[in-house]
Amino acid sequence: MEVRGSGRGLIHLHVGVTMQVPANSSVKFSEWQKEAFTVSTANCLPRQKAEAYRAYIAKIQYAWSKSDLSDTSAINLFKRDAEKCSTIIDSDKVETSLNNYAESILSQARDQQSYSDKWQSSLTPDNIFRLKKVQDMNELATNFKMPLLYSTDATLKLGNWGNRFCIPGPADLQAALIKLPEANVGQEANVGQNTNLSSLMKEKDFPSWVPANPVQMTKNIVTAPLLGKKNANVSLFHADTVNSKISGFSNYGKRKESYDRGDKFVQTVYANKRQTMSRHKGIACTSTDACGFKTASEKLMVEQKKHNLSLSSIGSGVKKCLGTAYSRGLHGKFIPPVPKDSGEEYQTIQRKTYGSERSEMNVPSDERLKNIEPKVIELIMSEIMDHGPVLSWDDIAGLEFAKNTIKEIVVWPMLRPDIFTGLRGPPKGILLFGPPGTGKTLIGKCIACQSGATFFSISASSLTSKWVGEGEKMVRSLFTVARCHQPAVIFIDEIDALLSQRGEGEHESSRRIKTEFFVQLDGATTSADENILVVGATNRPQEIDEAARRRLAKRLYIPLPEFSARKQIVVSLMSRENTSITDQQVDDIVLKADGFSGADMTQLCREAALGPIRSIQAMDISTITPDQVRPIAYIDFQNAFQTVRPSVSPRDLEMYEIWNKTFGCGK
Ligand SMILES: Nc1ncnc2c1ncn2[C@@H]1O[C@H](COP(=O)(O)OP(=O)(O)OP(=O)(O)O)[C@@H](O)[C@H]1O
């Protein structure tokens, strides 16, 4: 399949989408990997560069959707160009970037060329709904009984969505891209470049774009701009209108039912695609509002947790509400994340969160979920299921042995279960052990990303303390939800809290949770159909009992980073900063940081990055411009070494080495 640029800098894909790329471009999708995309900086304005990257990203996504690109290649290409694009869009350097490229969703309504301040439309949120066509449409929607979506009425969107960059594709349809007959608001009513909706409606596309619960779409206005069209018309719909159109679509129920009960293989494949799609978005979209659909109840839960529990955070490197919020270290005393006596408070929050909202919850459609309380499912989906950004193996410095072993025994089998059968079948459980802050969580996430699996991340200590009396149920529910989202990776941090050696003092509830965990894990092990991997992580491997050791068959030591890995962390972090540090100085820093963990290295760089700020007089802080802040220098690292010290003691290291020799699977 070939895409050619026309002289005017527009290219036309066969789906009828028009997008801008540099003139005279000619790209064979099958040669993606070989192609290096460069945008000339000499005569190129920031907006032109941004447009070029946007177009390029659109092509990547398109190629991926047509399977011309592998997931990994698409992710890498996408990541590279999305980062470049967002640098241009977000940075406030006037000469090289756009600063606030699309300040709000209204900028789309005002102007296709949202980077321009000059053109101002008279459309506003107030007057748009007074337009007759919009009113007619709303009325139509209110009385809506019949399908109003026709095959030529959908437009794939390229470009900005909200104030963040989004890739186009079937998934975007759920948010904004419904175009109804005669519904154009604007002077140019003729839209000749519409995507054929019927092709999107094929069963295989259905799951990726139909929102789980369309009537809960919360955007007030949706827009369907056609990029690349000269006097492009802009269609504005009230979200409710669009929702009712979608939910009223005659085949909706049938299709949904078919999806819900349909062929397992199809479900799995498209669950993966959808996962990957959302991860693609995750790279470029920091605003979940703009990029990912969330039900009202999901939003509510997230808000509640933000305000009440103050433990939740989503994103790379930061653990989630139910994940570990701190590290205990080898000999540290166990501290529950939420004191037991605050259980009542938690129950209250739960009641507040779920009580009156229950009717709005998504009703579980999978038979297997029927016996699980909706609130537990919602909680698992929003708090334990991880929607963080894509990670590649290169994001994890060093640890070559662990990474290669994991690729071989876990990732490949998950990608090709047809080849890795019988003795080659993947283990159902692996254990990552080693000092804190060495990348165990990163590896867990990366396994999920690279194998196209759904990632569930939970801290074992939250099962035993936070879910007082409910841990057992949570374990069961977690595995059940994971079964509905296969392939799945369940990452259990601090797994020692769950699988510690049975002793006299063992609490009855802990015993029950552990038993349930074994039952579930054994179930996953004996069922050949199940593609679920449990990844346990611990800083205290010596506390894990033999029954657990047997089940977590592959036990991999994740040691402190060596020189090259520490250097990679510093170089990677400094590459995003303004710095004057030379290669030789980097080597000196890395040498001096012998014994630092990956997390310590990150902390060292953060501390050094504060050096230039500290050298500014306090009174100047309010007036100084960012470009007046001096680059991070070697002296800043020297100062940082005075406050940042290794977090792992030699005694602890010795213990890990011994345990690795005794029980580990390393060489
Ligand atoms: N190998 C690594 N490469 C890159 N960054 C790393 C590496 N190891 C640690 N880091 C940095 O340290 C942070 C913490 O890493 P991570 O949470 O994966 O450690 P962990 O081993 O799971 O720690 P803990 O045992 O305390 O849960 C990461 O977000 C990252 O910034």
Angle in degrees, 0-180, between the axes of helices 46-65 and 71-90, rounded to the nearest 10: 160
- 442 against 79, higher pLDDT: 442
Query: At residue 8, what are phi and psi to the nearest 5 degrees?
Result: -90, 5
Per-residue model confidence as pLDDT tens digits over 310-339: 323 323 333 333 333 333 344 443 333 333
Atom of ligand 1 nearest to the CA of 599: 12
Using pLDDT thresholds of 50, 70 and 90, give the confidence band for residue 547.
confident
Rounded-to-integer distance, Cα 510 and Cα 503, Å: 11
Using pLDDT thresholds of 50, 70 and 90, give the confidence band for residue 138.
low
Question: Any residues with Cβ below 6 Å from ligand 1, and which?
Answer: 317, 324, 327, 396-399, 436-442, 493, 537, 539, 561, 565, 569, 598-599, 602
Mean pLDDT of 259-281: 33
ipTM over 0.85: yes
Ligand 1 pocket test, pick from 438, 440, 543 with the greatest ligand atom count within 8 Å of Cβ, gives: 438
Rounded-to-integer distance, Cα 382 and Cα 345, Å: 20
Q: How many other C-beta atoms are found inside a 10 Å radius of the C-beta of residue 649? A: 14
Shortest CA distance to 54 belongs to which of 200, 158, 199, 195? 158
Q: Are 462 and 337 in contact (CB under 8 A)?
A: yes
Which pLDDT does position 122 carry in this prediction?
Answer: 57
Q: Which of 335-344, 494-503, 623-632 has the lowest mean pLDDT?
A: 335-344
Atom of ligand 1 nearest to the CA of 558: 21
Rounded-to-integer distance, Cα 439 and Cα 454, Å: 19
Rounded-to-integer distance, Cα 406 and Cα 430, Å: 9
- Ramachandran area for residue 596 (φ above 0: left; ψ -120 to 50: alpha; else beta): beta
* Ligand 1 center from residue 561 Cα (angstroms): 10
148 to each of 125, 172, 217, how far by Cα in Å? 25, 19, 18
Rounded-to-integer distance, Cα 433 and Cα 555, Å: 7
Q: Which of 73-87, 112-126, 265-279, 372-386 has the lowest mean pLDDT?
A: 265-279
* Ligand 1 center from residue 641 Cα (angstroms): 19
Mean pLDDT of 128-133: 66
Per DSSP, what are the bridge partners of residue 535? Answer: 430, 491
Q: Are 483 and 529 in contact (CB under 8 A)?
A: no
Ligand 1 pocket test, pick from 320, 441, 457, 648 with the greatest ligand atom count within 8 Å of Cβ, gives: 441
Per-residue model confidence as pLDDT tens digits over 245-259: 333 333 333 333 333
Using pLDDT thresholds of 50, 70 and 90, give the confidence band for residue 505.
low
Rounded-to-integer distance, Cα 77 and Cα 9, Å: 22
